Amino acid sequence: MARRYDPERRGRIIDAAIRVVGERGIAGLSHRSVAAEADVPLGSTTYHFASLDELLIAALRRSNENFAAVMRESRALADPAADLAAELARLLGQFFAAGRGRAELEYELYLAALRRPALRPVAAEWTDATAALLQPRTGPATARALVALMDGICLQVLLTGGAYDEAYAREMLGRVAR
């Protein structure tokens, strides 16, 4: 029997992995759970991703790309006349507006790098890419400090269950950006 050509399968498997982590956490991720969620044969998940770390890398990369795309689309980040702190605070607000569950999922994938060294380079990609977007406006050190502050604000909101305070974020980001 001829093999069915399915160019979208790898992407569907990554999306299914993200949903599984969102519903069950990283501990609930397995080739079997992802295959069931993606409605593909178990062999498809192991064909595209030999290990769970490879699957997590792909899921983290996809999650990173979501926020990176939003930042790249922001004209204000490149505009020297625009208020950088206000734009970054607005983008963080947009991130939280997409739903707390999504933010928790993205940070769970990001923080998985603490225990899974294979994920560390991918986690660093987000930091490096975001700093690179900010660097023309701020220089390298300030860009990295802004990324660290944005991470810290996000983690505080997620870990305390508090609401995102855009005015506070704008003020703190402004202090670092100056």
pLDDT at 65: 82
Neighbours of 3 (CB within 10 A): 5
Contact 49, 58 (CB under 8 A): yes
Specify the number of domains making up the chain.
Answer: 2
pLDDT at 4: 66
Q: For residue 16, is it within any domain?
A: yes
How far is Cα 129 from Cα 3, in angstroms, rounded to an integer? Answer: 38
pLDDT at 1: 43
Q: For residue 147, is it within any domain?
A: yes
* Helix 52-73 vs helix 31-38: crossing angle, to nearest 10: 50
Same domain? For 158 and 129 the reply is yes
Contact 101, 22 (CB under 8 A): yes
pLDDT at 175: 97
Query: What CATH number does residue 9 fall under?
Result: 1.10.10.60
Structural tokens at position 62: 């996809």
Same domain? For 46 and 70 the reply is no
Same domain? For 39 and 85 the reply is no
Same domain? For 127 and 98 the reply is yes
Average pLDDT for the chain: 90
Contact 165, 92 (CB under 8 A): no
Same domain? For 111 and 43 the reply is no
Q: For residue 56, is it within any domain?
A: no
Neighbours of 166 (CB within 10 A): 15
Q: How do residues 29-82 score in pLDDT, each as one tens digit?
A: 999 999 999 999 999 999 999 999 999 999 888 888 877 888 888 988 889 999
Q: What is the CA radius of gyration of the chain?
A: 18
How far is Cα 5 from Cα 45, in angstroms, rounded to an integer? Answer: 15
Tell me which of 14, 31, 50 is where a domain ends: 50
Same domain? For 119 and 166 the reply is yes
Q: For residue 55, is it within any domain?
A: no
Planar angle of CA 97, 98, 103, nearest 5 degrees: 100
Same domain? For 133 and 93 the reply is yes
Q: Kindly list the distances between the CA atom of residue 169 and the CA atoms of 11, 79, 92, 93, in Å, as whole numbers in the listed order.
A: 34, 20, 9, 9
Structural tokens at position 106: 């993205």
Which runs of consecutive H residues, i.e. helices, occur in the chain? 9-24, 31-38, 42-48, 52-73, 75-78, 84-97, 100-111, 120-138, 140-160, 166-177
Query: What CATH number does residue 129 fall under?
Result: 1.10.357.10
Q: How do residues 113-171 score in pLDDT, each as one tens digit?
A: 889 999 999 889 889 999 999 999 999 999 999 999 999 999 999 999 999 999 999 99
Same domain? For 172 and 106 the reply is yes
Residue range of the domain that includes 8? 1-50
